[in-house]
Each structure stands twice: as C-alpha cells, then as structure tokens.
Structure 1
Amino acid sequence: MKEELILPQCRYPWPTIPSPIANAFDDEEKAWYDNDYTFISEEGIKRCKPQFLSRVATYMNPTCDSMDRMRPCARLMIYITIFDDFFGMTPANELKIMADRVYEVMMGQDPHEDEIGILRQMAQARKEWETFMPRFWIDRVSINFYEFIMYGMMEEIPFKQAENRTYPLLAHYLSFRKYSIGMWPYGDLIDPSVNYALPVHIYNHPIIQRCRELLSLIIVIQNDFASLKKELEIENESLNIIFILRNQYKISYQEACTEAMKLHDAYAQELDDLHQSLPDFGSFQEEVYNHVYHIKLQISGCADWYYNSGTSRYEHKAFIVPQYGREGDDIIIPHSIFIKE
C-alpha cells in the first residue's frame, strides 16, 4: 500500500472573521502587475494574477472596511511577496544594495523613471499612508521591511544556493525564518487597518514584541504546511520546518508534521494567554487589547486565505522564476538598475 501523508489544518482558539472587502482589489491588482511588475516575464505575470495576493491584506485585516486604508496594505502584500519570490536567490552583496534602495524609497525618496517598477508600488503605498498615518509609523514599517531582507532573506541565501541540500537546525531556522516570512511588516498593517498607530513606547514593550514574534512564528509553521506539497517536488528545498524536523530528529514526514503542529499550537496558546493577561498599559489599555486581538485575527485570517480564498499560489509551477533561478523564462534584472550614480 502506498504511504499517504496527512497534513493537519491549522486551527485557533479564537474566531475567523470574514472581510467585507475581501476581493475588492482583484482588478486593481491585475493593473499593478501589468504596469509595475514588467521586470518579470509575461508568463510570470500570468502566474501571479491567480494567486490573489491582494486578498492576503483583506483576509488578514478583516475588520477594515475602508478601501483607502487597505489599498496601500494590499500593495505591500504584493510587493513584499514578489520581492521575496524574485530576489530570493540573489547574491548577498547585490541584495544588500537592493535593501538600501528599498529603505530609501519607503522612507521618502521617489524612484527614478528607469528604476524597477516594484519601487513605484512602494513609493505609492508610502504616499497613501502619509495621508493618514504618523511619521513614526512610516519609519517603523520601513525598518521592519529592511530587516525582512537583511535578517531574513539574507540568512536564507547559503541554504538556497548550496549545491547539495543543507538543513539548518530548528533553532537557527526559526531565528531567521521569523523575519523572512515577512510578518514584522505584515503586522504593522494592523495600525492603518484600524486607523490607530501604537505609540513607540507601547510598541516597544516586551509583551507586544513577544506577541508580534508569535505572529511570525505561527505563520512560519502555517506557511510551511501550506507549501509542503509544492516543496516536496523541489529537489534541493530544505527551508521547511517539516524537512528540518525530519532531518534533525530522524523521524518520518508524518511524525514531523505532528511535532510541527504541537509547536504551532503551543505558540497559538501562548499568544491567546498573553492577550487575556496583558499588563496595565494605563490609558492605552483598550488600544493595546485591540491590537493584540488583531494580531490573532491576522493569523486566523491568513489560514483562511490559504484554505478558502481560491489562491493558486501553492500549486505546481505557480511561483515566478527567481532572478538567479534555474529556469530561463524570466528576465534577469541587473542590480545596477537599483543604483543611480
């Protein structure tokens, strides 16, 4: 009898809430690809459109009913995902240059006419946020995006470029994957979606930082379950918690799934417990409680997107070909187009 691998679904001790504007940006998203993502091939754009990446923003921020507040969030959901997909194999020295340029644009510089179109999306999102979000929040999301590249994508490069499959230990994997999953800037999108930016001293509180870290760690495991079927078909893929647990502890795929879900559930319970036992934040108590509540909604909303949005992202050959990938149907971007003398 052929062995089957049963993948458990991620479940949470809090509700999943549907967004009133869940599919609102489907048409705009297509136009963004056609106008600003032409650095990937026509085939790559065709692969992107049925992934419904703009819906990640609405599913993860389901209490927001404002198109204007959600539009720049939808832009970010797309440009962070495409940036990761396309530049995930880029050498570290080039990626550092790109990270610097992205940070400059997100902080206020406009891209040049001949620069890559993804920078136009970043600049437009920033301009939209500037109409209703404070400067300190713009700084926050810009720094977190920079760290997504430097502490996340950069740390994955040795494993992605290794000639033979190489596995990090679990502790090492989680230390960089919690950045490369992109949830630090994704978590920042709670503020525009509820139209309230956590003050700096509240945001920096260790309880809030732990809740944000748990958001990242939970989504890491959630994403690894969602992408496992596709990644089993990739010859040298090692950056999935199921592969890592299997290799580190010499267990079966099914046992690795069980262990990963135990870790996932423990993180989810910790987040729920922290939400129910927040310290005294004084006059900010209601806003802090609401923020952590929305961290939880982001998690269950992301799972809802994986399972129920109709995305094709985790189907065979749904991803675009990365800049330094092995297939030849996407245009390679010289890193010099990021840099203007």
Structure 2
Amino acid sequence: MREELILPQCRYPWVTINSPIANSFDDEEKVWYDNDYTFISEEGIKRCKPQFLSRVATYMNPTCDSMERMRPCARLMIYITIFDDFFGMTPAKELETIANRVYEVMMGEDPREDEIGILRQMAQARKEWETFMPRFWIDRVAINFYEFIMYGMMEEIPFKQAEKRTYPLLAHYFSFRKYSIGMWPYGDLIDPAVNFALPVHIYNHPVIQRCRELLSLVIVIQNDFASLIKELEIENESLNIIFILRNQYKLSYQEACTEAMRLHDEYCQELDDLHQSLPDFGEFQEAAYNHVYHIKLQISGCANWYYNSGTKRYESKAFIVPKYAREGDDIVIPHSIFVKEQDL
C-alpha cells in the first residue's frame, strides 16, 4: 500500500527579490560546459545544461545588476555543484589530493593544459575577481572552498560508500553537511554582488559567523526537501534530514517532514532576530547589516530558484553519473511523490 507524502514548501518572513539579470548567463553557461566540462561526457553535459546552474548565482544575489561582477559568481555556482556531483564518490585520499590542487589554483596557480577543465573555470573566476576584489577576500573564498571539500564532502564518504545504509545522528549530520552544502563559499559571493568586501575583523565576529552558519543550516534543510523525491529512489541514500530524523526518532516520513520544517523555521527566526540586534560595528554597521540582509536574500533567492527558475535539476535523469559510481548506478527521479514506506 502506498502512502501519500505531502512535502511542505519553504517560506520566509522576509522578502524575495527577483534579479534583473536572472537568466543572463544561459548562453555563456552552455559554452563553459562545452569547453571545460567534457570530462563528464557528452551525455553528462546534456543533463547539466537544463539545470540552469548559473541562475543560482543571480537568484541568490538578486540586487546585483552587474554582469561583470556576477560572471565569476556564476562560474563558481556551476563548478562547485559539478565538483560535488562528479567527485562525491571519490576515495578520501584521492579527494584530498584534488582539494589541495583546487586550493593552489584558487590561490593563484594556473592549471596545466592536461588537467581537468573544471580547474580552468576556477582559475578564470579567480582572475575575474582579481580585477575588482581585494586579495584577502579571494583568500577567504579559497579557504572556504577547501573546507567545503575537506570538512564536508570528505566526511560524507563513509556514508556514501557504505555497503549497507548507515545514518549519522542529526548533530553529526549538521556538523559536516553545513560544509558540504557549499554555503560558506556561496555566502562569500555576497561581497562581489554588493561590490564591498566585508573586512576580516567584521567577517570573523561570532555574530556574523553565526549568521553565515544559519545560512548553511537553512539551505541544508531547504535542499533536503527539494531533493527528497529523488533520494527516496536511491537504495543506500541516508544523507537527508528526513531520513535521519525518521531513523533517529522513529518517525513517519510525514512526521519527519514536520520536524525538519520546525527546525528550518527556528533557524530562520534566529537569523531574523540576529539581523535586528547586531552588535556595534562602528563605521561598518551599515555594511554588516547589509551583509546579513543579503544572507537572508540568498536563502529566499535559493528557494525562488528551486520553485520558479525553470531548473530541471531534480527531474528524471537530470544528474550526471559520478566518478567511482558503482556499476550500473544512475540517479533517477520518480514522476510522483507517492512513496512506499521503507524499512529502517
């Protein structure tokens, strides 16, 4: 007997703004795929193009009307997503080597001609940022991308490679998923979008860091709702808050959705409260307030991309097959949200 699962839609107590350049990189994005992403095969490129990943940058940074400032951000949105899709099953030792090379390129080294094309996109984004962003900000992006791999993707490997489905506890899940969701480097894109790099001492303040952490935690839950339909069909998938809550607290799918949304709304309220009660940042008060305002816009903008951008990322056979996938593996999204109860 099939059980109907009603997925709640994420909503926010602040505005959602539409970007004036929302779809402006659609044609450039196709060229980037054709030139630098051939390592994922012709079929992989065909699957990527309808996902409109460049629109994530514009939807999440909707106040920016500059193509020049947004172009490297659009590059990052694509290469961090494809990096995660393609290298998500890579053994830890090899992934660490790749992370070190990514860091070198993002810090200033040019990739060799025989290296994977995604590094060319990273190098080009860095060169574009160097024309208008300070060195300390580029260093920040490089470090946060490195941590996305080492503290996020790396920590997911034992669960992704387990022969039998294994669930982390919720606290453990959040500890690494807040990195693997990619929102630390995504959040860095606020600065080029507003054309102001938040000074190091403001960026490092615990309140600003908590706001950035809340960005990650909210998007983790938002993304898990968006990908749930797909992940219900993956035999060993455990890295979704719905599965984790269901396993840890012996909940039904619907109860787990309710609890996940409660956590989502709680984090949103905390972010809103912190935004309204920032400490005294002196001459940078307005800049700090504006930064947190744009953190909120990134959250509502990401939901806007999921629901309204036309992306086909979560449709049937939209994902690429990762490197080191098990023989015959593919990712299929069902045509219905009716699911069978699965044994815990």
The offset of 1:327, in angstroms, is 4.9
Q: Which runs of 4+ in 1 moved over 2 A?
A: 326-330
1:171-200, Cα deviation, whole Å (9 max, x unpaired): 000000000000000000000000000000
> Is residue 64–residue 70 contact of structure 1 (8 Å, CA) maintained in 2?
yes
In structure 2, distance between residues paired with 1:140 and 1:211:
17
1:70 matched to which residue of 2?
Answer: 70
The offset of 1:256, in angstroms, is 0.1
The offset of 1:317, in angstroms, is 1.7
1:24 matched to which residue of 2?
Answer: 24
The alignment partner of 2:219 has SS state of helix
Structure 1 gaps, min length 5: 331-341
2:321 matched to which residue of 1?
Answer: 321
> Is residue 102–residue 119 contact of structure 1 (8 Å, CA) maintained in 2?
yes
Structure 2 residue 48 is matched with structure 1 residue 48: yes
> Is residue 41–residue 329 contact of structure 1 (8 Å, CA) maintained in 2?
no
1:57 matched to which residue of 2?
Answer: 57
In structure 1, distance between residues paired with 2:208 and 2:138:
18
The alignment partner of 2:20 has SS state of coil
1:261-293, Cα deviation, whole Å (9 max, x unpaired): 000000000000000011110000000000000
2:286 matched to which residue of 1?
Answer: 286
> Is residue 43–residue 329 contact of structure 1 (8 Å, CA) maintained in 2?
no
Write out aligned runs for 1:27-176 (5 A): 27-176=27-176
Q: TM-score, normalised by structure 1?
A: 0.96
> Is residue 211–residue 292 contact of structure 1 (8 Å, CA) maintained in 2?
yes
In structure 1, distance between residues paired with 2:308 and 2:327:
30
> Is residue 152–residue 177 contact of structure 1 (8 Å, CA) maintained in 2?
yes
In structure 2, distance between residues paired with 1:264 and 1:315:
24
1:300 matched to which residue of 2?
Answer: 300
1:57-110, Cα deviation, whole Å (9 max, x unpaired): 000000000000000000000000000000000000000000000000000000
The offset of 1:41, in angstroms, is 1.1
1:276-325, Cα deviation, whole Å (9 max, x unpaired): 01111000000000000000000000000000001111112211000011
2:187 matched to which residue of 1?
Answer: 187
In structure 1, distance between residues paired with 2:329 and 2:247:
33
With over 3 angstroms needed to count, the CA separation of the structure-2 counterparts of 1:86 and 1:18, relative to structure 1, is same
The alignment partner of 2:230 has SS state of helix
> Is residue 17–residue 301 contact of structure 1 (8 Å, CA) maintained in 2?
yes
The offset of 1:164, in angstroms, is 0.4
Write out aligned runs for 1:196-207 (5 A): 196-207=196-207
The alignment partner of 1:41 has SS state of helix
1:224 matched to which residue of 2?
Answer: 224
Structure 2 residue 280 is matched with structure 1 residue 265: no
The offset of 1:329, in angstroms, is 9.4
In structure 1, distance between residues paired with 2:229 and 2:329:
23
1:12-53, Cα deviation, whole Å (9 max, x unpaired): 110000000000000000000000000011110000000000
Letter of the 1:191 partner, please give it: D
Structure 2 gaps, min length 5: 331-344
The range that moved more, 311-320 or 83-92, is: 311-320
Letter of the 1:62 partner, please give it: P
Letter of the 2:142 partner, please give it: S
The offset of 1:328, in angstroms, is 6.0
In structure 2, distance between residues paired with 1:195 and 1:225:
32
In structure 2, distance between residues paired with 1:265 and 1:328:
39
Structure 2 residue 238 is matched with structure 1 residue 238: yes
Say how many residue pairs are matched: 330
In structure 2, distance between residues paired with 1:177 and 1:162:
17
In structure 1, distance between residues paired with 2:267 and 2:116:
38
Letter of the 1:129 partner, please give it: W
